[in-house]
Amino acid sequence: MEKLLFIQTGFGVDVHGQNVTKAAVRAVRNAIFTNSMPGIEDLLPEKNLNNMIVNVKLALPVDAALLDHDAIKEIIPYGTVTIETMSGGMMTTSGIFLADKEDNNDLMYIVNASVETGY
């Protein structure tokens, strides 16, 4: 990335089901869905949103190999998206095991996201 314009951060939780993709999708949505970048087109080459580069960094507590990268990329509407995973996030008790919620145990997964946007 030649020029970094914005960094947005968020976190997401999967309380039941121990699904790192669900938590990661929620983290990325938390990072980007409460922001507006009305002047970004003026900053991009050719004033084209598809010229954006979006680097998504995810701190996952476990199961990085199970992360559905396509599910993350679907959230980002424009540009070229890359995904980087690293150890982090958290696993902690949800306080209850619910078999009907596809729980394998009583843990919840918490994922941290950093979404870097530029060109």
pLDDT in tens, 9-36: 999 999 999 999 999 999 999 999 998 9
Contact between 12 and 110 (Cβ < 8 Å): yes
Contact between 38 and 11 (Cβ < 8 Å): no
> Which pTM value belongs to this model?
0.95
Counted residue by residue, the chain has a size of 119
Q: pLDDT tens for residues 69-82?
A: 999 999 999 999 99
Count structural domains, the chain: 1
CATH number assigned to the domain comprising residue 104: 3.30.1330.20
DSSP state of 60: E
Structure-derived torsion over alpha carbons of residues 38, 40, 46, 51, reported in degrees to the nearest 10: -120
Q: Give the domain extent around 11.
A: 4-33+42-118
